[in-house]
Structure 1
Amino acid sequence: MTETLTDDLKYIVFQLKEKEYAIPVNKVHSIEKIEHITRVPGVSSYIKGVLNLRGVVTPIIDLRLRFDIEEVAYTDSTRIIIVSFDDMEVGLIVDTANDVIDIKAEAIEPQPEVVGVDEAEYINGVAKLDKRLLILLDLEKILQRDDLKTTYGNEG
């Protein structure tokens, strides 16, 4: 676990369906509106394709599909969160992304034992904030490198 100078950790909060999720701000490069995504044949169904973002070809993952949540049409609220992972950038399609919050370390609890939750394997922990319950995601498990090699332009 990374040591920090304060007890507060900054997270970007986003939604999928009616649930709120959070990822560390220090992993987020930018948040973009949905743009034209170029499909790539022969990749997992949750990988929507690639996006040319300011000259960088970025693989795009639809988190709804990654978590086995039904796919919906993109809206004006749909966002792509560009995260840095393993020396590359990856875009995560989410329903909305509109919050940056501080979470105290003591408000974070380990992943609960939940049966029947499709995204459970991708959860790092849960943060309880007043009446909100935020699911903290493990980007490493979501962005398994093997799934992205084909999309990222591995020449062979």
Structure 2
Amino acid sequence: METDKHILFKLKEQTFAVHVQQIVSIERELSLTKVPRTPDFMMGVTEMRGIMTPIIDLRERLNLGGVEITDQTRTLVVQVDDMQIGMLVDQATEVKDIPSSLIKSAPKLVGEIKDTFLLGVATIDDELILLLDLEQIIQFTEKNQLQEVMNELD
């Protein structure tokens, strides 16, 4: 049976998952530099291991309202194509093997989350886990926007 390791994290009460290979690191507090003329969900940029990294509020990006910073808040640093991006999440919970046989295609809408953002859904121990499609979270136009911002900062 084929299983893939995923990092599970929470936004509001909902559990999400990202493939572990896309995760660079999980960080606690980061100091951010605000950047003008960026989308609402873009919180700012920070330097990580010598790389300028845009930080986005994933709740805001998925239209779940803004993040509330607590002791549990984490930044998942992910690699999307050739770009390193930090995603602010309410809580990173665990690493879990998700068997591919359990992953179903996403319904059109899960709560308020459009299926375009999802690779699929899996139910494990009665819990619905939404598998995020990181390429869709940072779409082409926004990637260009972020890239321009990064270039200005170099």
- Determine if the TM-score, normalized by the shorter chain, exceeds 0.5: yes
Q: Distance in 2 between matches of 1:117 and 1:136?
A: 15
**Partner residue, 2:118:** 123
Task: Select the residue among 37, 42, 54 that pairs with 1:42.
Answer: 37
Question: Gaps (5+ residues) in structure 2?
Answer: none
**Partner residue, 1:12:** 7
Task: Select the residue among 75, 95, 98 that pairs with 2:93.
Answer: 98
* Residues 6-57 of structure 1: CA deviation (Å, up to 9, x unaligned): 6011100000000000010000000001211111100101011101112211
Change (3 A) 1:68 1:23: same
**Is 2:8–2:94's contact at 8 Å kept on the other side of the alignment?**
yes
**Partner residue, 1:33:** 28
* Residues 99-122 of structure 1: CA deviation (Å, up to 9, x unaligned): 100011101000113376234320
Task: Select the residue among 133, 148, 151 that pairs with 1:154.
Answer: 151
- The count of aligned residue pairs is 150
- Compute the RMSD of aligned alpha carbons: 1.6
| Structural mapping, 1:45-60, within 5 Å | 45-60=40-55
Q: Distance in 1 between matches of 2:4 and 2:99?
A: 6
* Identity of matched residues, %: 40
Change (3 A) 1:119 1:63: farther
Runs of 4+ in 1 over 6 A off after TM superposition: none
Tell me by how many angstroms 1:62 deviates: 0.4
Q: TM-score, normalised by structure 1?
A: 0.89
3-state DSSP of counterpart to 1:111: coil
3-state DSSP of counterpart to 2:87: strand
Q: TM-score, normalised by structure 2?
A: 0.90
Q: Which has the higher helix share?
A: 2
